[in-house]
Amino acid sequence: MRPSFLSFYTAKSGIDAARANLQITGQNITNANTVGYTRQRVDLYSVGSGSYNMRYAVTKDSNSGEGVYIGGFSQIRNSFLDVHFRKENAKLGDSASMLEALGDLEDIFDETMQQGLMTQFSDVKTQLENLAQNAGDAVSEKVLQTSCLLLVKMFNQYSDQVQVAKERQIFNFETGGIDKTNALLKNIAYLNGEIKNASVAGNPALELLDQRNMLLDELSGYMNIETVTTMSDAGLNTQAEELSVNLIGANGEKFNLIDNDECRQFELANDADGNVTTPIKIKLINANGTYATASNSYNVPLNGGDVTDQFTTGSFSGYLTMLNSAGEFDDPPSTQRGIGYYDQMLDTLANTFAEVFNKANSTNTAPPYNKPLFEASDGGAIKAGNIAISEKWMNASGSYITSTKEPPTSGTGNAQASDNILAMINLFSSNMKFETSAHVTLFSGTLNECLTNISGTLALQVQSTQRNHDTYTNNVTGIEEQRSSVSGVSLDEEGINLIMYNQALTASSRFMTTLDEALDTIINRMGLVGR
């Protein structure tokens, strides 16, 4: 004999399931344009007959299925695509932050549309040519001195602007990099806690998962991260998922950043005066305020929490390269050229320029030169930031430029012979070697060519970084499209689903009324005879 009211449960479950489906479809449709939303679906399982092995089991003609069971809600998301996206996004962040700094440098050094050092060098040469025809003339020398004054001021200005660019990058790094990352880490840790609590209570918290994924995407732009999910015991024989986020270091070592709801923070190291150190150093701080001491899996020790060398990609790496690397000027020379390289190239150029002209004008052949044209305003080595007209030249009352180094024909005077002035003009076209203090050759060529070389190197670096940036942008956009393809809401699909689920609801409801009618005969129309 079949149970009378059993099928009602089947019908009820059918209606329930159809309602749940409609609800989820409605959720998907309303969130079709929400950023980061992953489409959801109901997990439905058909229910089998359950009591066949019990003492009072139903007989075999009642072993039919008992409806549909709503297992829960889940989202459709491909986690491999997430990993892929985050890797590409890190590269994008790297090239983006480098372009920022390089753009600032380009504004300083690029003379395509502005008149800068190159024009001023040409002007000094022009004044020397004029002086060659008027050697010994105080007025022509004054004009030359004014031109040289403009040149040294321009050197000073370039050097100042490079400093400003560097400080701007440090500021951007602090606010747009470190502070932002710290906030992200805290938010993700907080979300982790909430998600775990929700899942222990049985709520899949899909919306929170979407939120967390968006934050993780953002974090991936800053550094090379990996996410690890582990199952942990949540009491009462249940298990809940925990998420931890690791920074992948230079050699593959992992440095833990977030451990479920606890996170670490980054900070810039300061020196005794409270200024940022040179080179920039980044430290990892534990939740309790102490400095992290080692990587988690490889036990690589950290000196005072210093993780500066562990960033291989992401914005952090971009900023650190631009702020800390100086190409050939580093010891040992590094392959990356940051702001430091251009700053020191400018210094080398200023120094070489001053040296050769001081030597040309003086009558002795070794430093200290007795008729220098340029000197350092603060007494140290001559650099772009401190090059100035020498005190001797500023105070000279008569003719100061040595116009000839040939002795006059005994005692007749030859102040208008100009061979030394021509030698000075020739300095602009003579090949010189520009090298670092450690004697690494930077460039061989004329003064003007060295200056052009600085511009050219920068232009090439900008061009190649821009090309990389464009490639990475395309890659990221491509992966984003693939993600969208998997997880995005298609209104056509949802529309069809609406019709489908609506029909299912109608069908289940009709089934219910059929049962109702069937029972109606037994309940209301049996046993009426003889009343």
Partner 1 sequence: MRITMGMIAKQYNKKLNKSLSDLNYLSNRSVSLRKFVNASEDPVSAVKAFKARRELASNANYQTNITDAKSLMQTAEGAMMQINSIAQQANSSDIIQAITDTMSTEDRSIVATKLKKLQEAVVTIMNTQFSDKYIFGGSSTKSAPFSLDADGNLLYRNVNVSTGEHAGFEGTAATLNISGAQIDFGKANGSAFNDYMIKVTDGTGAYALDTDAKTLTIELDFATATKQDLQDSLRTAFTAAGLPGTDSNLITVQDLASPITSIGTGIVSGGEDPIAAGTAVDLNALAKEQVFVDLGLGLKFDSAGKLVEQSAFDISLPGISFLGFGETSDGTPKNIHALLGDIAKKLEDPSYTFDGIKADLDMFGERYQNLLKGITEFGTKSNFLSYTQTRLEEAELNINERVSEIEYVDIETAIMDYKMQQYAYQAALKMGVQVIQPSFLDFMR
Residues 84-123 that bind partner 1 (CB under 8 A): 106, 110-113, 118, 122
Cβ distance to partner 1 smaller for residue 140 or 169:
140
Residue in 415, 438, 518, 523 binding partner 1, rule: CB under 8 A: 415
Residue in 237, 275, 412, 521 binding partner 1, rule: CB under 8 A: 412
Closest CA to 81 of 484, 530, 522, 525: 484
Cβ distance to partner 1 smaller for residue 62 or 126:
126
Cβ distance to partner 1 smaller for residue 53 or 395:
395
CB of 286 to partner 1, least distance (A): 41
CB of 460 to partner 1, least distance (A): 5
CB of 92 to partner 1, least distance (A): 15
Binding of partner 1 at residue 495 (CB under 8 A)? Answer: yes
Q: Which residues, listed in sequence order, are joined to residue 389 by a DSSP beta bridge?
A: 374
Q: How far apart are CA 486 and CA 479, in angstroms?
A: 11
CB of 57 to partner 1, least distance (A): 46
Residue in 77, 337, 371, 383 binding partner 1, rule: CB under 8 A: 371
Cβ distance to partner 1 smaller for residue 118 or 507:
118
Residue in 87, 91, 125, 254 binding partner 1, rule: CB under 8 A: 125
How many residues make up the chain in this entry?
A: 531
CB of 336 to partner 1, least distance (A): 17
CB of 397 to partner 1, least distance (A): 6
Helix, strand, or coil here: 442? strand
Residues 426-485 interacting with partner 1 (rule: CB under 8 A): 426, 429, 448, 452, 455-456, 458-460, 462-463, 466, 477, 481, 484-485
Helix, strand, or coil here: 490? coil
Rounded to a whole number of angstroms, the CA Rg of the chain reads 39
Cβ distance to partner 1 smaller for residue 1 or 113:
113
Cβ distance to partner 1 smaller for residue 132 or 209:
132
Q: Which two tokens stand for residue 385?
A: 């930031």
Residue in 413, 517, 521, 524 binding partner 1, rule: CB under 8 A: 413
Determine whether 383 is exposed, middle or buried from the number of CB atoms within 10 Å of its CB (0-12, 13-18, 19+).
Answer: buried
Residues 1-40 interacting with partner 1 (rule: CB under 8 A): 32-33
Binding of partner 1 at residue 377 (CB under 8 A)? Answer: no
Binding of partner 1 at residue 53 (CB under 8 A)? Answer: no
CB of 136 to partner 1, least distance (A): 6
For residue 36, the tally of other CB atoms under 10 A from its CB is 15
CB of 391 to partner 1, least distance (A): 7
Q: DSSP character for 370?
A: S
Cβ distance to partner 1 smaller for residue 63 or 126:
126
CB of 55 to partner 1, least distance (A): 51
CB of 270 to partner 1, least distance (A): 35
Closest CA to 180 of 172, 170, 189, 190: 172
Binding of partner 1 at residue 506 (CB under 8 A)? Answer: no
Question: Quick check: 489 and 497 in contact, CB under 8 A?
Answer: no
Q: Which two tokens stand for residue 415?
A: 């102040």
Q: How far are the Cα atoms of 10, 121, 184 from residue 295, in angstroms, in the given order?
A: 56, 53, 21
Cβ distance to partner 1 smaller for residue 37 or 316:
37
Q: How far apart are CA 185 and CA 226, in angstroms?
A: 13
H runs (alpha helix) in 282-386: 315-324, 339-361
Cβ distance to partner 1 smaller for residue 140 or 227:
140
Q: How far apart are CA 190 and CA 208, in angstroms?
A: 11
Q: How far apart are CA 163 and CA 26, in angstroms?
A: 56
Residues 136-175 interacting with partner 1 (rule: CB under 8 A): 136-137
Q: How far apart are CA 525 and CA 531, in angstroms?
A: 12
Question: Quick check: 349 and 450 in contact, CB under 8 A?
Answer: yes
Q: Which stretch binds partner 1 (CB under 8 A): 18-26, 52-60, 248-256, 493-501?
A: 493-501
Cβ distance to partner 1 smaller for residue 239 or 426:
426
CB of 138 to partner 1, least distance (A): 11
Q: How far apart are CA 424 and CA 354, in angstroms?
A: 12
Binding of partner 1 at residue 498 (CB under 8 A)? Answer: yes
Question: Quick check: 441 and 171 in contact, CB under 8 A?
Answer: no
Q: Which two tokens stand for residue 488?
A: 């995005």
For residue 368, the tally of other CB atoms under 10 A from its CB is 9
Residue in 418, 472, 479, 501 binding partner 1, rule: CB under 8 A: 418
Q: How far are the Cα atoms of 160, 206, 219, 254, 474 from residue 477, in angstroms, in the given order?
A: 39, 24, 17, 28, 5
CB of 473 to partner 1, least distance (A): 10
Cβ distance to partner 1 smaller for residue 59 or 410:
410
Binding of partner 1 at residue 509 (CB under 8 A)? Answer: no
Q: Which two tokens stand for residue 169?
A: 């990058």
Q: How far apart are CA 316 and CA 308, in angstroms?
A: 9
CB of 46 to partner 1, least distance (A): 26
Residue in 160, 167, 331, 391 binding partner 1, rule: CB under 8 A: 391
Q: Which stretch binds partner 1 (CB under 8 A): 43-51, 175-183, 390-398, 516-524?
A: 390-398
CB of 488 to partner 1, least distance (A): 4
Helix, strand, or coil here: 314? coil
Cβ distance to partner 1 smaller for residue 46 or 477:
477
> Are β-strands 254-259 and 239-248 bridged in parallel, bridged antiparallel, or unpaired?
antiparallel
In the chain the first and final C-alpha atoms are separated, in Å, by 29
